[in-house]
Amino acid sequence: MSNVTFLSGEKIPLEMHKVRMVQKISLPPVEQRASSMEEAGYNTFLLKNRDVFLDMLSDSGVNAMSENQYAAMLQADDSYAGSETFYRLEKVLQDIFGMKYFLPAHQGRACENIIAKTLVAPGSVALMNYHFTTTKAHITLMGGAVEEIIGDEGFKIQSTAPFKGDIDIDKLNEAIKRIGKEKISFVRVEAGTNLVGGQPVSMRNIREVSHICRKEGLKLVFDASLLADNLYFIKTREAEFKDVEIINITREIASLSDIVYFSARKLGAARGGAILTSDDGLHVKMRELVPLFEGFLTYGGMSVREMEAMAVGLRETMDMDVVSQTPIFIEALCNELLAKGIPVVTPPGGLGCHIDAWKFCEHIPQTEYPSGALAAAIYIASGVRGMERGTLSEQRGEDGIEHLAEMELVRLAVPKRVFTLSQIKYVADRLTWLFAHRHLIGGLEFVEEPKVLRFFFGRLKPIGNWPEQLVRQFRKDFGESL
């Protein structure tokens, strides 16, 4: 994907692919959207996909696949043990990452389970730029704790720092001194740091962190689930890599890490997961857990068809036209919103456009879940499904007290090569309307609150009749339009 300049001087992101297979979607009228949202307990996870116009909940498992990926799926070799498919995928992974061993798992969190079971002892601490929900859950399940050492810039919604996912080296050194290296289970770097707005990590930072880990004898675990976008940012924001091929950037990252793992629902545009290492000892320990939790060592819970798609998808990811599409679309969406004064995380990162719900809904206290309310309001206003990333995604303490999130965001994910530019423009238009009527949006309260992962299954209701008022205003402004 590249930005091309039109005669008017306007810069337009131009797709470097054509669409050869499509799926019909529909846009239900606003009244129906409001009742679907009510039925779903004001939780976008509980909406049915058939009621959704643009599904921007996640990029997980919903990126567009290429013709070559589909073709490869037909050649999959099904076998409980020793399938050709496994060896083909292994070869691709070894080539791309330059690591010795590949262990398959059914998705990213399954890799995290195996890594946590191997490295986390009760009472130990895992240091990381920032946690991801499933990562933290597996570490705490093993009796470990997570400490976040991202630079302060990572918490600033608006910033010009190019690599807001970077680890703060002073915080890393201080934590090692304070905790003691024998109590540190591992150091984890997450590419394209998900929960701070898809913000990238620089190669400079990965090199420094790796150097400290090697000096101190600590294991460096690299979560490459969001590597594709991060590769684009290293290439475009770090001068040294301007002319370096992205496969070589990938190889350098892997050479600096002891373990690389990823969700192939994201990286490689398929479904599945992979753990890579060159460390003989770690390989042997982790290998024992694969048949126990995932499946035999040559499939690890994945279907061979998905493994073939993953092999091709990973090769295709090592291409600037492929890795640039999501970040450039996100940048286009963020810039349209910023021009209308709508607060979003800047600089635009990967994964999706992240709206600052705190600011958007200044009048809603955090205990009434402004991000959850905004996600529900966006769906009602547009049929677009986003994801709450704020206090609702936190877990209530044992004492019943809310754990207030550091940021209140709504993520509008941009799956790879799925949406067109007019659809992106539609999102910007409806958000602009909603922003003008933001005072109509009210808070939410729980009706059913699960103890763990409440954001997945929890059901809520609006405080007051704000959804109705929103529908009324929509009809007033848009007439018969959907």
Q: Which residues of this protein are in contact with ligand F0G, per CB under 6 A?
A: 58, 60, 107-109, 132, 134, 190, 194, 223, 225-226, 263, 265, 273
132 in active site: yes
* Catalytic residue (choose from 5, 20, 80, 243): 80
* Catalytic residue (choose from 11, 117, 133, 156): 133
Pairwise CA distance, residues 269 & 313, whole Å:
6
389 in active site: yes
Q: How many CB atoms lie within 10 A of CB 385?
A: 24
Cβ distance 12 to 420 under 8 Å? no
CB nearer to ligand F0G: pick between 107 and 210: 107
Q: Which residue is nearest to ligand F0G (CB)?
A: 108
* Catalytic residue (choose from 88, 266, 305, 430): 266
Q: How many CB atoms lie within 10 A of CB 284?
A: 11
Q: How far is the CB of 435 from ligand F0G (least distance, A)?
A: 25
266 in active site: yes
* Catalytic residue (choose from 42, 53, 130, 132): 132
Pairwise CA distance, residues 251 & 255, whole Å:
6
Q: How far is the CB of 352 from ligand F0G (least distance, A)?
A: 9
CB nearer to ligand F0G: pick between 32 and 140: 140
CB nearer to ligand F0G: pick between 109 and 359: 109
Q: How far is the CB of 341 from ligand F0G (least distance, A)?
A: 27
133 in active site: yes
* Catalytic residue (choose from 223, 229, 258, 356): 223
78 in active site: no
Token digits of residue 38? 């009510």
59 in active site: no
Q: How far is the CB of 182 from ligand F0G (least distance, A)?
A: 27
Q: How far is the CB of 134 from ligand F0G (least distance, A)?
A: 5
CB nearer to ligand F0G: pick between 130 and 369: 130
CB nearer to ligand F0G: pick between 235 and 265: 265
* Catalytic residue (choose from 102, 329, 455, 474): 455
Q: How far is the CB of 226 from ligand F0G (least distance, A)?
A: 5
CB nearer to ligand F0G: pick between 155 and 435: 155
Q: How far is the CB of 123 from ligand F0G (least distance, A)?
A: 24
* Catalytic residue (choose from 219, 271, 315, 389): 389
236 in active site: no
CB nearer to ligand F0G: pick between 192 and 467: 192
Q: How far apart are the first and last CA of the chain?
A: 31
Just list the catalytic residues.
80, 132-133, 223, 266, 389, 455
